[in-house]
């Protein structure tokens, strides 16, 4: 669930599969806040739930098995969990994670924390629903390197999956069941129990250190202006921006889907929750540390034609950089990355 450089042909294949699977889904009100598997933290809004994929513990359990099943890949070598590791907030520690054939992907594996709140998926925003997302890595040569018909043919021979499909979705194991179940499990990746949450939403003034509080004020203030893009409870506005990482990008970003020059090298603004755990950073994993990330933004970035207007040299002091990094570390949710319910 990592590489997002779909060709025009493959985009068409994905969209055709989506239509076949019933991709025109309506959103319903949240019906799972009280379930321990899907509890919404204080300060968080309700999570949208598709009408054709209402939550149930049984569907969640099926999705969990599929998320960690290596048989999703051609040679049975990798699963979703291979590149999205719980201890790393469901991201990876590599710049580019290897696929089923060992070849590296072309985009850094993003964290899946709070993925159920995202309005669209992949770094270039080319997938509109979480149910559709799994279609991307399945057919990408540098990821699972297979196809949905082949996976279904393989997995429906497993009697445990066959019985679970009938029990949870009332139909034989097929692409509909596979995509919906995995999305069910991923929606439960809810992270909102960090020191920052205790400070901001639980009202504990001692949950953050003085350095972290200074960093928070800098983050939200007009000088650093970080919250212009990294806003809200999930620390992202989900917009597409260019952050001046390069003058010339190997990845065309959102332009791959819109074909608009103004979208060249624009990528979805990532959430900063658990950011201390998700190194390396940027769409290509080119920055290894938070210190390198802060130094990049402090510089104002390189002069790409589509660089965000919000990026300007900050001229932060060493102490301010330290405070800002300490604040970012306060977004780490230790309970989330250790929660045994996510483990097989």
Residue 33's pLDDT band (boundaries 50, 70, 90)?
Answer: very low
First CA to last CA distance, the chain: 19
Span 136-156, average pLDDT:
96
Residue 136's pLDDT band (boundaries 50, 70, 90)?
Answer: very high
- Provide φ and ψ at 41, rounded to 5°: -70, 160
pLDDT at residue 120 in the model: 96
pLDDT at residue 106 in the model: 84
For domain 195-338, the CATH superfamily is: Cytochrome c-like domain (1.10.760.10)
Q: Quick check: 14 pLDDT over 80?
A: no
pTM (predicted TM-score): 0.90
- Contact call for residues 53 and 21 (beta carbons, < 8 A): no
Q: How many CB atoms lie within 10 A of CB 52?
A: 16
Residue 31, burial from CB neighbour count under 10 angstroms (0-12, 13-18, 19+): middle
E-state strands within the chain: 27-28, 49-50, 240-241, 267-268
Q: Quick check: 65 pLDDT over 70?
A: yes
- Contact call for residues 96 and 83 (beta carbons, < 8 A): no
Q: Please list the residues that pair with 121 across neighbouring strands.
A: 127
pLDDT at residue 36 in the model: 86
Lowest mean pLDDT of 24-28, 204-208, 220-224, name the range: 24-28
- Per-residue burial over 64-102, b = 16 or more CB atoms within 10 Å of its CB, e = otherwise: bbbbbbebbbbeebbbbbbbbbbebbbbbebbbbbbbee
Lowest mean pLDDT of 7-21, 157-171, 257-271, 304-318, name the range: 7-21
* Every domain range in the chain assigned CATH 1.10.760.10: 8-190, 195-338
Span 40-54, average pLDDT:
95
108-to-97, 251, 270 alpha-carbon distances in Å: 7, 12, 12
**How far is it, in rounded angstroms, from Cα 176 to Cα 166?**
12
Lowest mean pLDDT of 102-106, 188-192, 196-200, name the range: 102-106
Span 28-38, average pLDDT:
59
Q: Quick check: 26 pLDDT over 50?
A: no
- Provide φ and ψ at 176, rounded to 5°: -60, -50
Encode pLDDT of 260-303 as tens digits: 999 999 999 999 999 999 999 999 999 999 999 999 999 999 99
**How far is it, in rounded angstroms, from Cα 309 to Cα 319?**
26
pLDDT at residue 134 in the model: 96
Q: Quick check: 15 pLDDT over 60?
A: no
- Provide φ and ψ at 157, rounded to 5°: -75, -15
pLDDT at residue 35 in the model: 63
Class of domain 8-190: mainly alpha
**How far is it, in rounded angstroms, from Cα 340 to Cα 14?**
33
**How far is it, in rounded angstroms, from Cα 115 to Cα 90?**
10
Q: Give the mean pLDDT of the chain.
A: 92
pLDDT at residue 20 in the model: 45
pLDDT at residue 188 in the model: 98
Encode pLDDT of 213-254 as tens digits: 999 999 999 999 999 999 999 999 999 999 999 999 999 999
36 versus 181: the higher-pLDDT residue is 181
132-to-122, 138, 176, 283 alpha-carbon distances in Å: 11, 11, 10, 21
Encode pLDDT of 109-124 as tens digits: 999 999 999 999 999 9
CA quadruple 148, 153, 156, 158: dihedral, nearest 10? -120
Encode pLDDT of 81-99 as tens digits: 999 999 999 999 999 999 9
């Amino acid at each position: 669930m990592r590489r997002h450089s779909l060709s025009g042909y493959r985009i068409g294949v994905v969209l055709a599969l989506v239509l076949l699977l019933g991709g025109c889904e309506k959103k319903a009100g949240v019906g799972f806040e009280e379930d321990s598997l899907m509890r919404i933290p204080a300060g968080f809004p309700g999570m949208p739930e598709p009408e054709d994929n209402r939550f149930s513990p049984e569907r969640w359990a099926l999705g969990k098995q599929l998320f960690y099943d290596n048989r999703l890949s051609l040679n049975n070598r990798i699963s979703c969990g291979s590149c999205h590791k719980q201890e790393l907030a469901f991201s990876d520690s590599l710049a580019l994670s290897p696929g089923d054939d060992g070849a590296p992907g072309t985009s850094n594996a993003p964290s899946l924390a709070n993925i159920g709140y995202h309005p669209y998926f992949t770094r270039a925003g080319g997938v509109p629903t979480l149910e559709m997302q799994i279609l991307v890595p399945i057919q990408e040569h540098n990821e699972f390197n297979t196809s949905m018909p082949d996976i279904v043919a393989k997995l429906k021979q497993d009697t445990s999956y066959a019985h679970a499909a009938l029990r949870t979705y009332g139909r034989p194991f097929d692409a509909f069941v596979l995509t919906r179940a995995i999305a069910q499990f991923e929606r439960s990746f809810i992270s909102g129990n960090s020191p920052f949450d205790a400070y901001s939403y639980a009202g504990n003034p001692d949950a953050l250190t003085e350095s972290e509080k200074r960093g928070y004020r800098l983050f939200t203030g007009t000088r650093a202006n970080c919250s212009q893009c990294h806003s809200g409870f999930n620390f992202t506005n989900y917009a597409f921006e260019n952050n001046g990482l390069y003058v010339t990008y190997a990845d065309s970003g959102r332009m791959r889907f819109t074909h608009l020059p103004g979208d060249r090298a624009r990528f979805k603004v990532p959430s900063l929750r658990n950011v201390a755990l998700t190194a390396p950073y940027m769409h290509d994993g080119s920055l290894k540390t938070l210190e390198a990330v802060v130094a990049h933004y402090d510089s104002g970035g390189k002069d790409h034609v589509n660089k965000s207007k919000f990026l300007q040299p900050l001229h932060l002091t060493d102490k301010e950089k330290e405070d800002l990094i300490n604040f970012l570390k306060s977004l780490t949710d230790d309970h989330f990355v250790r929660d045994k319910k996510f483990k097989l």
